[in-house]
Structure 1
Amino acid sequence: MLGLSRREMLRSASCGFGYLALSALCGQTATARDSAVTASLAPRTPQLPARAKRVIFLCMSGGPAQLDTFDYKPQTGKKKHPGSVFNFAQHGESGLWISELLPETAKHADKLCVLNGMHADITNHAQSFLQLHTGDRLRPRPSLGSWILYGLGTENQNVPGFISLYPKKPSVYSSAFLPPVYEGTPIGLNTTNMSTATIGNIQSNHLPAATKRRQLDFVQAMNREHATLRPEDARLDAVIQSMELGFRMQMAAPELLDLNQETKSTLERYRVGQGKTVGTCRDSDFGRQCLLARRFAEAGVRFIEVNHGSWDQHKNHRADLTANCESTDAPIAALLEDLEQRGLLEETLVVWGGEFGRPGLVPETKKNETGHNARGFTFWMAGGGIKSGLAYGKTDPTGARAIEGKVHFRDLHATILHQLGLQHDRLTFHQGNREFRLTGTEGGNVVHDIIA
């Protein structure tokens, strides 16, 4: 290989030639390569005793109507006030009130901790959605998943530690000023059909695995030499690590994404391919997302976001809410069932909710329109050391605002981090001469009342 230019050497390496002449160089980089990966993505010891190892966030974008799902407000008096327009019943030994729209989820009532006292700062979708994911409603900040990956690393070095399924906005998986290696991996980006969605650029059958490894070692040797001259540029290290992860994913990810390995009964329980299109929102095949979430959890992915929308029912509240519940109810129930049966629910924190809620309808009128409500709405959590069969917090008689057991997004974030063994006020990153954290300068409070 003497006398060849670097470009010629790279071309030769790509074709699998000249390996003997390059093996010494590549061999010298192996230790550095492995240590670089370990330094940033290997599992780290939590700051506190951890009750959960991972999070599955079921993100219902658009603002689910809490009064017609989990926060029962019966119509009373001669002049009935706004409230629930669907029937409710108590379920499980806990007697949790759950809407008739969610019969399958209701079977798992005793697994749920329903937070009826949620509240946020603003009723605009974009700002509240950003605050839900990053803690800040105005500026780009690292997402919850990125903070968790930064604090804990990942259990499986062969797949991404943070995956976002069917995301609509980069804020869902952005690492912002955190090192880019902590950014989430989107699957189904830009409303791609979920039946064909995959992790991009991981299919590679043009060379044997050993040859591809030698090729990558040579490229990485040059990358690291380049990076040593630019130590301030974290993007270079992220590129190096993403190439390593991409190589490992070529072997692991295709099998993980292949639902053909699942039984027919499992696909039916999750309602794979049976979703509904609501308004202008394209069907996201939520059942496929939930089944993939279970498989990712089994594989050790640290943070998995499952996105569904839109729950922004303004003029067709009853019909669109019914369709949304039909699309999500059975898949969520199947996910909870499988996590429990496989011994994963105790160590997996499942979170359900959206950026805010909605005011109630008056059933005796023909009006079928709702607005936005950030003063009081509902989330629920399950597994991961959270109390089960509990309704925590409450809104006023009309569901307009939280009045007891109030939980802000900052408190939700602090509690999620706590269950993972992370102290929200000590998980910080120095940027621009100041320390940043997920819960911001106002801070959050761990909701100890809901911890088992």
Structure 2
Amino acid sequence: MFRSRRSMLKSASCGFGYLAFQSLFQQQLLAESSSLVAKAPALPARAKRVIFLCMSGGPAQLDMFDYKPQVGKKKHPGSVYKFQQHGESGLWASELVPEMARHADKLCMINGMYADTGNHAQSFLQLHTGEKLRKRPSMGSWINYGLGTENQNLPGFISLNAAKPSVYSSVFLPPIFEGTPIGVNGEDMSQAMINDISSDHLSPTKKRKQLDFVQAMNRQHLAQRPDDTQLDGVIESMELAFRMQMTAPEILDLSSETQETIQRYRVGEKLSVGTCRPTDFGRQCLLARRFAEAGVRFIEVNHGSWDQHKNHRRDLEANCKTTDAPIAALLDDLEMRGMLDDTLVVWGGEFGRPGLTPENGKDETGHNYRGFTFWMAGGGTKGGYVHGKTNETGARSVEGKVHFRDLHATILHLLGLPHEQLAYFHEGRNHRLTGPEEAKVVQELFA
């Protein structure tokens, strides 16, 4: 299932008339390759789903997780914030993230991350798609393609507070695997919804009859264009949208949650300081838990405005205050519900930041793609563990280096998907999330 059926079809049809052979197997191809039906992983899976906490803009890892004490007569760049060790593991975390620090023994810290470029757009694209220049399917779309969804009434991939279409695009994969965006960066998430799935102008019975009529015409049209996956994707999307009318509004409605839960997630709190856009991040985290419970395979939670150059302390503190408690509440709830074991939570951004130099008095930072931090929790990862390290100034990764390709390969492996085989035939060759270059599964991260 991991190599494109289209490539196998072309190989098998040599000498027998491609169009005739293709027509014979068209229904099987569409059913298997372009469907959201849940698929069995090829490898033993440690995780069933992913929640990706995307901190776009470059979070300052030296002020949060990668502790570099100021030593020597001439102090090197580092953090101006207090650090201490937490949990039985003694994992280091700063005073900016006290709630996440409670979960120290659940966190699998990757301090040896590195990327190819310090440009936001290119590195952000590479984080999501494996490519820094060309449009390629996003990680969520690849996982959706490989595993399908556990709930046929919901998409397999949802992007909350989406920063840009590149984070949820399926590009050349069948459109049914594209992510469904809910809200856009900076929007009031209490008003966010899935577009065009709700209406009260017809009863459910009449809506079904109307859709059946439209779909009959669509399928007749498709019969004359049997290799048109875009058209097939439209047909499947319309069916999914009809089913979502019964399920999605209930998940987006938080009225069934207790007031204690609303407070723990800080739902409704909006903070706008400096470059930090007002956002209801707590609502996103609570929605992520609810969508995960409902069977969505990949949920991306986006928080922008980590691009802090001037006024670094002010804006960093605002971002940490906004995200710390909701993320901790999400981890609390996943553990309490017995979901953390098979839910992989991933935190990080497109790169990190160099440390401040206390002597010069400046409150400015730049970009650092040579050494930064991601962390994982649950989903079969090793809790209370630190993998890799940067040099004494945090300027570059020097041990246990992990590239975005390696991160992607590792996430896929935890889900039971071999990254070398998860491929799709397009424009004459097979494409993969991890690309043609070498990628390694970081086995040291596994529990």
Quick check: TM above 0.5? yes
In the alignment, is residue 207 of structure 1 matched against residue 202 of structure 2? yes
- Check the 8 A contact 1:278/1:310 in 2, yes or no: no
What is aligned with 2:6? none
In the alignment, is residue 43 of structure 1 matched against residue 38 of structure 2? yes
The alpha carbon displacement at 1:55 in A equals: 0.3
Q: Which of 342, 357, 361 is matched with 2:337 structurally? A: 342
Q: Which of 355, 361, 365 is matched with 2:356 structurally? A: 361
Any residues of structure 2 matched to 1:392-403 within 5 Å, and which? 392-403=387-398
1:160-213 CA-to-partner distances (Å, cap 9, x unmatched) read 110000111111000011111110000003543211000001112222212211
In the alignment, is residue 325 of structure 1 matched against residue 320 of structure 2? yes
Q: Report the residue type matching 2:145 in the other structure.
A: Y
2 CA distance for matches of 1:333 and 1:39? 36
- Check the 8 A contact 2:128/2:138 in 1, yes or no: yes
SS of 1:131's partner is: helix
In the alignment, is residue 413 of structure 1 matched against residue 440 of structure 2? no
In the alignment, is residue 216 of structure 1 matched against residue 220 of structure 2? no
What is aligned with 1:171? 166
What is aligned with 2:132? 137
The alpha carbon displacement at 1:84 in A equals: 1.4
The alpha carbon displacement at 1:36 in A equals: 5.1
The alpha carbon displacement at 1:259 in A equals: 0.8
Q: Report the residue type matching 2:251 in the other structure.
A: L
The two structures, once aligned, show a CA RMSD in angstroms of: 1.3
The alpha carbon displacement at 1:397 in A equals: 0.3
The alpha carbon displacement at 1:392 in A equals: 0.9
- Check the 8 A contact 2:275/2:315 in 1, yes or no: no
2 CA distance for matches of 1:190 and 1:324? 14
2 CA distance for matches of 1:445 and 1:252? 39
Larger Rg: 1
2 CA distance for matches of 1:195 and 1:151? 32
TM-score (norm 2): 0.92
2 CA distance for matches of 1:300 and 1:417? 18
1:118-168 CA-to-partner distances (Å, cap 9, x unmatched) read 000000000000000000000000000000000001100101110000111
Task: Call closer, same or farther: CA 1:395–1:333 in 2, change over 3 Å.
Answer: same
What is aligned with 1:312? 307
In the alignment, is residue 235 of structure 1 matched against residue 214 of structure 2? no
1 CA distance for matches of 2:151 and 2:415? 17
- Check the 8 A contact 1:425/1:443 in 2, yes or no: no
What runs of 5+ residues in structure 1 fail to find an aligned partner?
1-31
Q: Which of 252, 269, 272 is matched with 1:277 structurally? A: 272
The alpha carbon displacement at 1:39 in A equals: 5.9
Q: Which of 105, 109, 118 is matched with 2:104 structurally? A: 109
- Check the 8 A contact 1:37/1:241 in 2, yes or no: no
1 CA distance for matches of 2:398 and 2:441? 18
1 CA distance for matches of 2:47 and 2:185? 31
Q: Which of 31, 49, 64 is matched with 2:59 structurally? A: 64
SS of 2:299's partner is: strand
- Check the 8 A contact 2:168/2:178 in 1, yes or no: yes
- Check the 8 A contact 1:47/1:423 in 2, yes or no: yes
Q: Which of 44, 59, 78 is matched with 2:73 structurally? A: 78
2 CA distance for matches of 1:394 and 1:289? 31
In the alignment, is residue 247 of structure 1 matched against residue 206 of structure 2? no
Q: Which of 228, 245, 260 is matched with 2:255 structurally? A: 260
2 CA distance for matches of 1:396 and 1:104? 27
- Check the 8 A contact 1:154/1:161 in 2, yes or no: yes
What is aligned with 1:5? none
The alpha carbon displacement at 1:234 in A equals: 1.4
2 CA distance for matches of 1:253 and 1:281? 29
1 CA distance for matches of 2:260 and 2:348? 28
1 CA distance for matches of 2:273 and 2:404? 27
What is aligned with 1:447? 442
The alpha carbon displacement at 1:441 in A equals: 0.8
Q: Which moved more, 1:65-74 or 1:212-221?
A: 212-221
SS of 1:416's partner is: helix
1 CA distance for matches of 2:126 and 2:376? 19
- Check the 8 A contact 1:275/1:287 in 2, yes or no: no
The alpha carbon displacement at 1:365 in A equals: 2.6
1 CA distance for matches of 2:201 and 2:427? 45
- Check the 8 A contact 1:58/1:353 in 2, yes or no: yes
Q: Which of 344, 351, 369 is matched with 2:346 structurally? A: 351
Task: Call closer, same or farther: CA 1:408–1:39 in 2, change over 3 Å.
Answer: closer
1:83-117 CA-to-partner distances (Å, cap 9, x unmatched) read 11111010000000001000000001010000000
In the alignment, is residue 53 of structure 1 matched against residue 48 of structure 2? yes
- Check the 8 A contact 2:130/2:404 in 1, yes or no: yes
Task: Call closer, same or farther: CA 1:84–1:313 in 2, change over 3 Å.
Answer: same
SS of 2:191's partner is: coil
What runs of 5+ residues in structure 2 fail to find an aligned partner?
1-26
Q: Report the residue type matching 2:50 in the other structure.
A: V
2 CA distance for matches of 1:37 and 1:252? 24
The alpha carbon displacement at 1:215 in A equals: 1.5
- Check the 8 A contact 2:34/2:174 in 1, yes or no: no
SS of 2:358's partner is: coil
TM-score (norm 1): 0.91
What is aligned with 2:286? 291
Structure 1 runs, 4 residues or longer, greater than 3 Å off: 35-39
2 CA distance for matches of 1:337 and 1:310? 25
The alpha carbon displacement at 1:310 in A equals: 1.0
2 CA distance for matches of 1:94 and 1:213? 56
Number of equivalent positions = 419
